[in-house]
């Protein structure tokens, strides 16, 4: 197994370990369905077993890892039906989130979200996919939060966490990434105009297009 992360400086912070392992899953170093080699990763990341196991519990709660007592942990593998059904639900959740955010967000909150969008575009122009992806996830998370609907936030967060790897591979092809960015630019325009219906519609369409981009990679 080829591993590319740098050792972690602060070994006591399990969230840093979780971040590193999460990136390995998202980028495909740890493949769906594969067993997580605890001994190898503990050595490569330069941490002890305690924060590593705490990190695995965090990732299990996110739906990225399955912990099997006495058998070790594996990277969760989603079926095509799993992915399609989650994207269908997420599309409608984010449609509503867009409508509510335009109604309820303050000017400062909208400005913050547009700043995230602008930072995403900078990484896109530099073709730096992982930082772009992380800001993309933050954009969707913050927009859901601006709905001021705790139930919506909870459901959106749960599904988004389980689809992290899937959303990342959706931008593997340059043309797919270009199309996704075009969607995000339209989102930013709708947000600036406080056009909730337009924002909700493009967010829902964006998620439906994600299925078209990833269906052959699952």
**pLDDT tens-digit profile of 27-49?**
889 999 999 999 999 999 998 99
Q: What is the mean pLDDT of residues 49-75?
A: 91
**Where in the chain are the domains?**
14-75, 80-217
Pick the CATH number of 14-75 from 3.40.50.720, 1.10.10.10, 3.90.226.10, 3.40.109.10: 1.10.10.10
User: Cβ(103)–Cβ(196) under 8 Å?
Assistant: yes
The listed range with the strongest mean pLDDT (5-14, 42-51, 84-93, 162-171) is 84-93
Asked if pLDDT for residue 160 goes beyond 90, the answer is yes
Query: Could you tell me which residues come within 8 angstroms of residue 6 by beta carbon, excluding any fewer than 6 positions away?
Result: none
Domain 14-75 and domain 80-217, same fold? Reply is: no
Asked if pLDDT for residue 1 goes beyond 50, the answer is no
Query: Could you tell me which residues come within 8 angstroms of residue 99 by beta carbon, excluding any fewer than 6 positions away?
Result: 196, 197, 199, 200
| Tokens standing for residue 18 | 């979780």
Confidence (pLDDT) at 5: 57
Task: Give the fold, CATH level 3, of 80-217.
Answer: 1.20.120
Three-state secondary structure of the chain: CCCCCCCCCCCCCHHHHHHHHHHHHHCCCCCCCCECCHHHHHHHHCCCHHHHHHHHHHHHHHCCEEEECCCEEEECCCCHHHHHHHHHHHHHHHHHHHHHHHHHCCHHHHHHHHHHHHHHHHHHHCCCHHHHHHHHHHHHHHHHHCCCCHHHHHHHHHHHHHCHHHHHHCCCCHHHHHHHHHHHHHHHHHHHHCCHHHHHHHHHHHHHHHHHHHHHHC
pLDDT per residue as tens digits for the range 12-30: 457 899 999 999 999 889 9
CA dist., res. 211 & res. 86, Å (int): 10
Confidence (pLDDT) at 111: 98
CA dist., res. 213 & res. 163, Å (int): 14
Nearest to 130 by CA among 172, 174, 158: 172
């Amino acid at each position: 197994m080829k591993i590319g992360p740098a050792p972690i400086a602060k070994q006591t912070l399990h969230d840093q370990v979780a971040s590193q392992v999460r990136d390995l899953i998202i980028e495909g170093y740890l493949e769906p369905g594969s067993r997580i080699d605890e001994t190898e990763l503990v050595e490569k990341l330069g941490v002890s077993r305690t924060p590593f196991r705490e990190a695995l519990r965090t990732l299990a709660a996110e739906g990225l890892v399955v912990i099997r007592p006495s058998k070790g942990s594996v990277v969760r593998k989603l079926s095509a039906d799993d992915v399609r059904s989650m994207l269908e639900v997420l599309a409608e959740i984010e449609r509503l989130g867009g409508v509510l955010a335009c109604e309820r967000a303050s000017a400062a909150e909208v400005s913050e979200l547009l700043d995230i969008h602008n930072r995403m575009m900078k990484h896109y122009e530099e073709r730096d996919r992982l930082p772009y992806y992380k800001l993309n996830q933050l954009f969707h998370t913050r927009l859901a939060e601006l709905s001021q609907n705790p139930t919506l936030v909870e459901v959106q967060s749960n599904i988004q966490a389980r689809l992290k790897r899937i959303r990342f591979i959706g931008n593997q092809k340059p043309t797919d990434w270009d199309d996704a960015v075009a969607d995000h630019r339209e989102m930013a325009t709708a947000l600036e105009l406080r056009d909730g219906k337009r924002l909700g519609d493009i967010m829902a369409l964006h998620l439906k297009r994600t299925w078209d981009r990833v269906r052959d990679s699952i």
